[in-house]
Amino acid sequence: MSLANLLRQTITIYNKSSLDKFAKQTFGSGTDAQARFQLKTINRMLPNQETVIVSAIVYVLPTVTVEIGDKIVYNSVNYEVITKSSAIDGVGGSNHIKLELAKWA
């Protein structure tokens, strides 16, 4: 079974764009992507020693453009990408991307 067969949910990714005149983050237009979305509750300590509650884990293909801080919408709920890691296959390529998400504050 290929990885694409496991990606049965659709998420919308809003990539960070710039700051507005009030220094608030703005986002570009949304892009839909196939994903594997799993609700989860994990306490995660970030490199800056801040603790966040991870609310979901998402797996996407390595061709998806997503970065830490981007907004993801799934099932009408907004999430922020907290961590991003790539799974490397046996020949050194990326098999998939794992994202940990926190509910948008």
**What's the mean pLDDT in 37-62?**
92
Structure confidence at residue 2 (pLDDT):
65
**What's the mean pLDDT in 80-101?**
86
Q: What value does the mean pLDDT of the chain take? A: 89
21 Cβ contact partners less than 8 Å away, ≥ 6 residues apart: none
Residue 100 backbone dihedrals phi, psi, to 5 degrees: -110, 130
